[in-house]
Amino acid sequence: MQIIPVIDLKGGTVVHARMGERALYRPIETPLAQGSDPVAVAGGLLSVHAFSTLYVADLDAIEGSGENRAALRRVKQAFPQLTLWVDSGIADFDRASDWLQQGFGHLVIGSETQSDAALAYHLAENAKVVLSLDFRGPRFLGPPTLLEQSDRWPQRVIAMTLERVGSHAGPDLVRLRALKAAAKTRDVFAAGGVRDAADLRALAQAQIAGALVASSLHDGRVTAVDLQQMA
């Protein structure tokens, strides 16, 4: 199973995500880095394990209040071996095409910012596109057809449970199993709630392809040894 560390960017710095309440996010404090600079935090995560992929949420872009492309460029330049998965709130084809041409990495299409399913369906065959199905509690954030027509999803799908992000509540295995069944041969990635290696093993047993992890890396509940064993 693939473990993907996460950084959330706001105002050019890494912030600590807590249960999807973005107005409350503050610059991260972590033993893995001095300060909240994106390059320093990414380097701290890589000091735990030689991750191949880094997920980045550009919160300013998602909220329509700006963007963090300069920070993305710095991370990409500092760690060219990393594949970046980036959610920057893109919801139309022209912006998606422009973003992909910039070469930042793989584009994450977040359901919460889509007015319809057209963009995800149009780019479903693109190997550099990932669909994030975003949930808050029992509510799906996005156009219902996007959730219902699983045969038109891209190959990689993230199940993003926002209220479990940074909560240490454990992954939502019931929802993950349901989405895995709907996805069939597609790869499903869990996001939100991973506490420790036991959670990672439970996800692997549920045939989940990977997990997006942040808090449990920073607080040491998921260790280098755990990551090597999972790999």
38-89 per-position pLDDT tens digit: 999 999 999 999 999 999 999 999 988 899 999 999 999 999 999 999 999 9
Please give the helix or strand (H or E) that residue 128 lies within, else none: none
- Residue pLDDT, tens place only, 134-147: 999 889 999 999 99
What are the helix (H) ranges across the chain? 38-48, 59-63, 69-78, 93-102, 118-122, 144-148, 173-183, 197-205, 215-218, 224-230
User: For residue 24, what pLDDT band results from cuts at 50, 70 and 90?
Assistant: low
Q: Which residues contact 148 (CB under 8 A, 6 or more apart)?
A: none
Note the pLDDT of residue 205.
96
Q: Which two tokens stand for residue 31?
A: 């033993």
Interatomic CA distance for residues 127 and 121, integer angstroms:
13
- Residue pLDDT, tens place only, 112-132: 999 999 999 999 999 999 999
Note the pLDDT of residue 165.
77
Interatomic CA distance for residues 213 and 93, integer angstroms:
29
Q: CA angle at residue 199 from 160 to 222, to 5 degrees?
A: 95
- Residue pLDDT, tens place only, 144-172: 999 999 999 999 999 999 878 766 789 99
Which domains are delineated in the chain? 2-230 (3.20.20.70)
The percentage of residues in the chain with a pLDDT greater than 70, rounded to a whole number, is: 96
Note the pLDDT of residue 103.
87
Query: 183-205 burial string, b = 16+ CB within 10 Å, else e?
Result: beebbbbbbbbbbbbebbebbee
The percentage of residues in the chain with a pLDDT greater than 90, rounded to a whole number, is: 84
φ and ψ at 60, to 5 degrees? -65, -45
What is the average pLDDT value for the chain, to the nearest integer?
93
Note the pLDDT of residue 221.
95
Report CA torsion sign: 21, 110, 84, 99.
Answer: negative
Note the pLDDT of residue 67.
92
Does residue 34 or residue 168 have the better pLDDT?
Answer: 34
Residue 6 has pLDDT above 90, yes or no: yes
Residue 35 has pLDDT above 70, yes or no: yes
Whether the full predicted model's pTM is greater than 0.85, yes or no, is yes
Give the type of residue at 128.
K
Note the pLDDT of residue 46.
98
Residue 37 has pLDDT above 60, yes or no: yes
Closest CA to 228 of 48, 76, 45: 48
